[in-house]
Amino acid sequence: MTAHLAHPSQSTRTRHPQDVATHRRGPTLPPHRLPHLPGQVAIPEQLRAAVGPAAMERFNTAPAAELERALLGCCRSLRWARRVTEHRPYPDLEALLAAADEAAYDLTPAELAEALAGESLTLLPDGAYSAAHTALSAAHAAYESRFGHVFVICLDDVAPEETLDRVLTGIRSRLTNDPEEERPLAAEELRRLAKGRLTRVVQHFSGQAGH
C-alpha cells in the first residue's frame, strides 16, 4: 500500500515506464546518500519464511525482461529495475534487499523524481466513511501542491485499521517541512516501499514453475 500504502496489489492504476517521463515531476532529490531514518521496514515473517532457496533460484533465473517488469512495480525507475536484475544471482533475500538499497541510493536526482512520479494515490480500507475520503483527498492535494509529488509512506508494519490515521497523521506532520527537509524523507519511504514490494515479488516467483 502506498501513499501511498505499501502494498503493490492495491495500486489504483498501472503505468508503463515510458509513461513516467511525461508525468509531472516533483522537486529533484539530493544526489548524496540519504540519511538513515528510524523505523526500518518490517517484512512480515510469513513472507520471509516463503522466500527460501527455491524462491531465490527462480528469481535468479527468471528472464530479464519479465523480471524488470515485475521490479517496476516495486520502484518506478527503469535504471533501478535493470540494476537489480543485472546483479543476479543473489544468495538469499537479505543480499537482494541490500542490493536494492544500494541501487536506490545510487539513482540520480532526476531518476528519484521519476520514481516518485510513478507512485499512485492511497486506497482507503473497505468501509471507510465518506468524511475520511474527503479528509484524505484534501490532505493529499495540499501535500502535492506544496512538494510537487504525491505523498509516499511505507505501512508494511501498520495494521489495516490503523492505516487511515497513520496516513493522515503522516501527511499533516510532513506538510510542516520545507522542501529540502521533505525530499530525503520521501526518498527514504520510497526505498522502504521498494523493499517490501520486492519481498512480495520474490514470494510470487516462489509459486511459479518453469524458471
Asked if residues 71 and 198 have their Cβ atoms less than 8 Å apart, the reply is yes
Dihedral through CA 27, CA 31, CA 35, CA 36, nearest 10? Answer: 100
* Burial class of residue 150 in the structure, from the number of CB atoms within 10 Å of its CB (0-12 exposed, 13-18 middle, 19+ buried): buried
Q: What is the pLDDT of residue 193?
A: 94
107-163: pLDDT as tens digits: 888 999 999 999 987 666 666 677 787 888 899 999 999 999 999 999 988 888 888
Q: What is the pLDDT of residue 126?
A: 65
pLDDT band for position 45 (50/70/90)?
A: very low
Q: What is the pLDDT of residue 161?
A: 83
Residue position matching grid coordinates 500504502 = 5
Query: What's the rounded Cα separation, in Å, for the pair 46 and 11?
Result: 22
pLDDT for 29 beyond 60: no
Least confident of 13-17, 56-60, 156-160, 186-190: 13-17
Query: What's the rounded Cα separation, in Å, for the pair 105 and 103?
Result: 6
Interhelix angle 163-174/130-147, nearest 10 degrees: 30
Asked if residues 138 and 106 have their Cβ atoms less than 8 Å apart, the reply is no
Q: Whole-prediction pTM value?
A: 0.71
Q: What is the pLDDT of residue 1?
A: 44
